[in-house]
Chains A and B, each alone.
Chain A
């Protein structure tokens, strides 16, 4: 079985791209790959990662349509949808295709678009990831984040301001990332005065939705030299289950890494999600993760909180960011002396997750 490498990556800055369609965004990410990978190999398969294009863009079959527009008609193409974990699921799909020998080179394209509609329609689309009955009852995903936050505050006896450091750190990282959406610093006062979304959660505890596209080239060992610094995908783990909000038990795998040698991008849909993930992965003490960020090379992109949250494209961005960090090409804040990388791609309320391990 072949070893699997990331051999190229590109991102479109996350933003409100009113002038671009889903296809324009995807093409822009593909153009980015063409500019960075000197000799594009023959592509065997195209995997498109998208979560909300059917509902918000009225477009199905993006796998086929995007590959045809890229001049890749006749290749295997598909769309992978798993809510906000679509990116992780897509990387896993490409990894499996290459690992098994079915394909030598797979192009993964993450794309999603939120800014074409006012937020109440977008909330309706993202709520479609909830169970059918909850969707009909008018529930959206933010109350879940709020209930998790309350549960965390109660269990570990912390107040709302415990979480402020997450937003502050994410915004300070994003300032340095040219691909980030919210490139401005924030302080405690700004967060404390921001709009309440679902008590006790405020605007700065939630990832802002925006448009984005990112592309990653995944290749077999024969093609690893396409990248000057080949980055290997060592493994992809998967967890899923029903989270228990009151006991804060979430189905996420524990990781076995040296945190000081590992650069990571995790899914901080809500500030509390970041805390839960870091603790469930065993990377920080329970109830104290947000106070131990100095010991972790986490979300140098700015995270979903400040890089921005482009729906089903998120996990592809995270993969591109870790690849660039390990290949020493990331244009933002750089992780120092790291050898390994982790991407944790989850859905918004932590029911399913993909954990991708990278090694330089």
Chain B
């Protein structure tokens, strides 16, 4: 069994929408959210909903297969600077070639993988290009 419903359910704040945590002390934003600030260790953090919009800094076309994700190969992975500041590495979707650096991207919900033994589908966020960079 590959997909565990409780695991997916627990990760819903990160898999289905882009949530982060903002440190009330130093202003650092953690994505995925964290109970303690990863920068200063403070427990005084607030949950924030991120816009899901960002700018593509770099991308790569990946041919290295992972069991369970064969259908999404080759896979495009981006280094994205979210509008709120943090940099994340995330899968890109609806692209056939490596998008231009500086492209504007937004998070969309897509199918990630299907469990071959019980048919459960796991969904999650990928990033779609909404406009080419400068």
Partners in one complex: yes
Binding site for B on A (CB under 8 A): 119-121, 123-124, 127, 131-134, 136-140, 142-144, 146-147, 150-151, 154, 195-201, 242, 244-246
Interface assignment of B118: CB less than 8 Å from any CB of chain A: no
CB distance from A193 to the nearest CB of B (A): 15
Q: Which residues of A contact B91 (CB under 8 A)?
A: 137-139
Contact A119 B89 (CB under 8 A): no
Q: Would A151 and B89 be within 8 Å (CB), given that A120-B66, A138-B113 are in contact?
A: no
Contact B62 A197 (CB under 8 A): yes
Q: Which residues of B contact A198 (CB under 8 A)?
A: 60-64, 77
Binding site for A on B (CB under 8 A): 7-8, 11, 14-15, 32, 38, 57-70, 72, 75, 77, 79, 81, 87, 89-91, 98, 112-113, 122, 124-126
CB distance from A227 to the nearest CB of B (A): 42
Contact A134 B75 (CB under 8 A): no
Contact A199 B11 (CB under 8 A): no
Closest to A131 in B: B32
Contact B81 A136 (CB under 8 A): no
Q: How far is the CA of A138 from the CA of B89 in the complex (A)?
A: 12
Q: Which residues of A contact B15 (CB under 8 A)?
A: 133, 136-137
Q: Would A146 and B62 be within 8 Å (CB), given that A132-B11, A136-B112, A136-B124 are in contact?
A: yes
Dominant SS at the B interface? Answer: strand
Q: How far is the CA of A61 from the CA of B1 in the complex (A)?
A: 23
Q: Which residues of B contact A199 (CB under 8 A)?
A: 60-62, 98
Q: Which residues of B contact A127 (CB under 8 A)?
A: 66
Contact A246 B60 (CB under 8 A): no
Q: Would A119 and B65 be within 8 Å (CB), given that A134-B89, A136-B112, A137-B124 are in contact?
A: yes
Write 18 A-B pairs (CB below 8 A) sorted by A numbering: A120-B65, A120-B66, A120-B67, A121-B67, A124-B66, A137-B15, A137-B125, A139-B89, A139-B90, A143-B60, A143-B77, A147-B58, A150-B58, A150-B60, A151-B58, A197-B62, A199-B61, A245-B87
Q: How far is the CA of A197 from the CA of B66 in the complex (A)?
A: 12
Q: Which residues of B contact A146 (CB under 8 A)?
A: 60, 62, 77
Contact A133 B66 (CB under 8 A): no
Contact B89 A245 (CB under 8 A): yes
Q: Which residues of B contact A137 (CB under 8 A)?
A: 15, 90-91, 112, 124-126
Contact B66 A244 (CB under 8 A): no
Q: How far is the CA of A268 from the CA of B67 in the complex (A)?
A: 25
Contact A140 B89 (CB under 8 A): no
**Partner pick for A140 among B66, B79, B90, B112, CB 8 A cutoff:** B66
Q: Which residues of A contact B124 (CB under 8 A)?
A: 133, 136-137
Contact A133 B67 (CB under 8 A): no
Q: How far is the CA of A162 from the CA of B72 in the complex (A)?
A: 31
Contact A143 B89 (CB under 8 A): yes
Closest to B81 in A: A246
Q: How far is the CA of A44 from the CA of B32 in the complex (A)?
A: 42
Q: How far is the CA of A300 from the CA of B31 in the complex (A)?
A: 40
Q: Would A123 and B89 be within 8 Å (CB), given that A142-B62, A147-B77 are in contact?
A: no
